[in-house]
C-alpha cells in the first residue's frame, strides 16, 4: 500500500461507524458491511479523512462484537470477508482511509483458544489466559473488580481455578505475559494489514497486561468524593487501578505493535485509554515515535463541559506530551450522546454547530461519532428495549449504552427512519426522524451541512489541522486559544454559554468569514464579542 503522505493521520477527521446501526442492506434489522459500503458516498460528502469501524468480527455478541471469537473472520450478521474487501476498495476509491477496531486485551469465552485453555492446566494453551488459584478461603485471588460490575474473577470448575475478566465473565483476558499470545495477536493484526486496512483503533489499549504478582488494588478515597466521570453506582471507581491495568510492561508490547505497523508505511494506530491518570498515560503511550501514533481518553466524554475544564484538560495533555499526538472525541458508542450530555434544553442547533467547531479546532486528530453530524440526542429507551448488559446491570441509575447506539436515521416519514424495512435491533426514537439525513440535506443551515462545509474549510487552514495550540486565559464561559503552523496564526474563541458575552483579548485581529451558519462573534476595541453559542476565528490584521 502506497500513501502519498504517511502522516495523513495527523489532524485527520475520523468518522466512527457502529456497523449494527448504520444501514441494514439485507432486511434483518441489523446494519452490515454491504450497508456501510452503500452509504460511503454520504460519508465522503462529510469531508472526513477516514472511517473507524467498530468490531465486525465473528462473535457471540454478548458485548456486541467486543467479545471476539475469531479475529480473522467477519461475523455472518455483518456479511463475509469478501464484503469487507469490497468496502475497503470502495472507501479507498472515495479517498477514505479505513481504521478497524481491534479488541486485543480479551476474547470471547467461545473463542477456540479459551475452549482449549479451560480444559486442563497442561494443554497447549493452558497459559494463554490469566488463571489463578483461589485464596485459602476460596475467594478470588485479588480484589480486582470488573468494569461491568462484580469481581473481575470467575471460577471455572474444570480447572478449579479463577480466570480474569475486566469486563463480562464471557470476556476472559488474554495473558500477555506469555510470548506465544503476543506473537499470535500480532499475527492476527497483520492479517488485516494484508487486506489493506489503514490502521487500528485499539480497544482498552492500557488493559493488555496485569500485575504478575497479583497484588490487590488500593482504595481510591478521592473517588468517593465524586470526581470527574466517577459513577458512584459502580464500585469500580472505588479502587486505584494500579495492578489490573496500565502496567509498565504494556509499553514494550506497544513497541512491538508499532514495529509491525512501521512495516506497512502509512498505517496508523489510535489507542483508547481509560485509567486514573489518563492524560499522562496518553503522553506515555504516544511519545518517542515507537509506540502508538495517537491516543484518546474519556476526559472529554464526561458531563464536564465548562470552559475551565476543557482548558485544563488541553493544558494538561500539552504539558505532558512532548512529541506525542493526541486524538479527541466528544462522543462515541460508549457514552451518552454529546447533545444530551453537553447540550442545553432542546439541544439547540447553534450549540450543535459550535461543539462541532470546537472539537475540530483542537490540536490533534478528531473522532466524530455517527449521528453527531445530525445533532442527534440520546434516545430514551424503555427498560424492555435494552440489550446492553452494562445498562441492564446498573438500571435505573445508569441506563447503559443503548441510547447512543440506536439506528442512524436516513429518511423521515418512513418506517425505522429508512434504516431497515423490518423492526431494528434497537428502536429509532421519534425525535430522530426530525433530524434525519433527508430532512437536513436541502437545508443550507442544517447541522449536517454545517459539518460538511466546516470540515472542508478546515482543510484549507494548516494551523487548524497540524498547528500547535496555546490556551488563553479567559473568563466565564469563554474558551479561547491560538493555533500556529508555519506562517498561519489563528485566534479561535467560543462562548459556551447561552447568553452573549464580551472578552478582553490583546492583539490586532481580523475576523475570518466562517463557512457555515454559526452564531458568529465579532471583534471590538481590545477584545471580542460573542453571542450565545458564538464562534469566532480570526487572523492577525
Q: Are residues 478 and 503 in contact, defined by beta-carbon separation less than 8 angstroms? A: yes
| Burial per residue of 319-352, b for 16 or more beta-carbon CB atoms within 10 angstroms, e otherwise | ebbeebbbbbbbbbbbbbbbbbbbbeeebbbbbb
**Highest CATH level, class, for 13-106+179-458:** alpha beta
- Predicted local confidence at residue 526, as pLDDT: 84
Q: CA–CA separation, 248 vs 283, rounded Å?
A: 14
Phi-psi region for residue 425, left (φ > 0), alpha (ψ -120 to 50) or beta? alpha
Give the E-state strand segments of 158-278 in sequence order.
161-164, 199-202, 268-273
The structure's pTM equals 0.96
Which residues in the chain are classed under CATH 3.20.20.80? 13-106+179-458
User: Which pLDDT score is estimated for 222?
Assistant: 76
C-alpha span between 38 and 55 (Å, rounded): 18
> How many angstroms separate the CA atoms of 355 and 343, rounded?
9
Residue found by looking up cell 460490575 in the block: 149
Give CA separation, 7 vs 3, 43, 55, 264, 459, in Å: 9, 22, 25, 13, 15
Do residues 365 and 294 lie in contact, with contact meaning Cβ atoms separated by under 8 Å? yes
Are 135 and 72 a contacting pair, CB within 8 Å? no
Task: Catalytic residue, from 203, 299, 336, 477: name it.
Answer: 203
Kindly state the cell numbers that stand for 11: 489532524
- In the three-class reduction of DSSP (H, G, I as helix; E, B as strand; rest coil), residue 95 is classed as coil
From first to last of the 541 residues of the chain, give the pLDDT tens digit: 445 799 999 999 999 999 999 999 999 999 999 999 999 999 999 999 999 999 999 999 999 999 999 999 999 999 999 999 999 999 999 999 999 999 999 999 999 999 999 999 999 999 999 999 999 999 999 999 999 999 999 999 999 999 999 999 999 999 999 999 999 999 999 999 999 999 999 999 999 999 999 999 999 987 665 454 556 678 999 999 999 999 999 999 999 999 999 999 999 999 999 988 899 999 999 999 999 999 999 999 999 999 999 999 999 999 999 899 999 999 999 999 999 999 999 999 999 999 999 999 999 999 999 999 999 999 999 999 999 999 999 999 899 999 999 999 999 999 999 999 999 999 999 999 999 999 999 999 999 999 999 999 999 999 999 999 999 999 999 999 999 999 999 999 999 999 999 999 888 999 999 998 999 999 998 899 999 999 999 999 9
The yes-or-no answer on residue 488 being catalytic is: no
* Domain range 468-540, CATH architecture: Sandwich (2.60)
Q: Return the half-sphere exposure (C-beta side, CA atoms, 13 A cut-off) of residue 242.
A: 9
180 is catalytic: no
φ and ψ at 74, to 5 degrees? -90, 135
The active-site residue out of 49, 272, 334, 402 is 272
Amino acid at each position: 500500500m502506497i500513501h502519498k503522505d504517511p502522516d495523513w493521520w495527523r489532524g485527520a477527521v475520523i468518522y466512527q461507524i457502529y456497523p449494527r446501526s448504520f444501514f441494514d442492506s439485507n432486511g434483518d434489522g441489523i446494519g452490515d458491511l454491504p450497508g456501510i459500503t452503500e452509504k460511503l458516498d454520504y460519508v465522503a460528502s462529510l469531508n472526513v479523512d477516514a472511517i473507524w469501524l467498530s468490531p465486525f468480527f465473528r462473535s457471540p455478541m454478548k458485548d456486541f462484537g467486543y467479545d471476539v471469537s475469531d479475529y480473522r473472520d467477519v461475523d455472518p450478521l455483518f456479511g463475509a470477508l469478501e464484503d469487507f474487501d469490497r468496502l475497503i476498495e470502495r472507501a479507498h476509491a472515495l479517498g477514505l482511509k479505513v481504521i478497524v477496531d481491534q479488541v486485543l486485551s480479551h476474547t470471547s469465552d467461545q473463542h477456540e483458544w479459551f475452549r482449549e485453555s479451560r480444559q486442563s492446566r497442561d494443554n497447549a494453551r493452558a497459559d494463554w489466559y490469566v488463571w489463578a488459584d483461589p485464596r485459602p478461603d476460596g475467594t478470588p485471588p485479588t480484589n480486582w473488580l470488573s468494569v461491568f460490575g462484580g469481581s473481575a474473577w470467575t471460577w471455572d470448575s474444570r480447572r478449579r481455578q479463577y480466570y480474569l475478566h475486566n469486563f463480562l465473565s464471557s470476556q476472559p483476558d488474554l495473558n500477555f505475559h506469555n510470548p506465544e499470545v503476543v506473537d499470535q495477536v500480532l499475527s492476527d493484526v497483520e492479517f488485516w494489514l494484508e487486506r489493506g486496512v489503514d490502521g487500528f483503533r485499539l480497544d482498552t489499549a492500557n488493559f493488555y497486561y496485569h500485575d504478575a504478582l497479583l497484588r490487590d488494588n488500593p482504595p481510591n478515597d478521592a473517588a468517593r468524593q465524586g470526581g470527574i466521570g466517577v459513577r458512584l453506582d459502580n464500585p469500580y471507581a472505588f479502587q486505584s487501578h494500579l495492578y489490573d491495568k496500565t502496567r509498565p510492561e504494556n509499553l514494550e508490547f506497544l513497541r512491538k505493535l508499532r514495529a509491525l505497523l512501521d512495516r506497512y508505511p502509512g498505517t496508523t494506530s489510535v489507542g483508547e485509554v481509560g485509567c486514573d491518570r489518563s492524560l499522562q498515560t496518553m503522553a506515555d503511550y504516544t511519545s518517542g515515535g515507537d509506540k502508538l501514533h495517537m491516543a484518546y481518553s474519556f476526559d472529554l466524554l464526561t458531563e464536564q463541559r465548562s470552559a475551565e475544564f476543557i482548558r485544563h484538560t488541553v493544558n494538561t495533555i500539552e504539558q505532558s506530551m512532548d512529541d506525542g499526538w493526541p486524538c479527541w472525541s466528544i462522543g462515541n458508542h460508549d457514552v451518552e450522546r454529546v447533545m444530551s450530555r453537553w447540550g442545553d434544553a432542546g439541544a439547540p442547533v447553534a450549540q450543535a454547530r459550535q461543539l462541532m467547531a470546537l472539537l475540530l479546532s483542537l490540536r490533534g486528530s478528531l473522532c466524530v461519532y455517527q449521528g453527531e453530524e445530525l445533532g442527534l440526542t440520546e434516545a430514551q429507551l424503555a427498560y424492555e428495549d435494552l440489550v446492553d448488559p452494562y445498562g441492564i446491570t446498573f438500571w435505573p441509575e445508569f441506563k447503559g449504552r443503548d441510547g447512543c447506539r440506536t439506528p442512524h436515521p436516513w429518511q423521515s416519514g418512513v418506517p425505522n427512519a429508512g434504516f431497515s424495512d423490518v423492526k431494528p435491533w434497537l428502536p429509532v426514537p421519534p425525535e430522530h426522524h426530525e433530524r434525519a439525513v433527508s430532512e437536513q440535506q436541502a437545508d443550507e443551515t442544517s447541522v449536517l451541512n454545517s459539518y460538511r462545509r466546516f470540515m472542508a474549510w478546515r482543510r484549507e487552514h494548516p494551523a487548524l489541522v497540524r498547528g500547535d495550540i496555546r490556551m488563553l486565559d479567559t473568563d466565564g464561559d469563554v474558551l479561547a486559544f491560538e493555533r500556529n503552523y508555519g506562517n498561519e496564526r489563528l485566534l479561535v474563541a467560543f462562548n459556551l454559554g447561552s447568553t452573549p458575552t464580551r472578552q478582553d483579548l490583546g492583539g490586532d485581529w481580523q475576523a475570518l468569514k466562517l463557512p457555515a451558519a454559526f452564531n458568529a462573534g465579532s471583534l471590538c476595541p481590545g477584545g471580542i464579542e460573542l453571542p450565545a453559542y458564538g464562534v469566532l476565528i480570526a487572523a492577525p490584521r
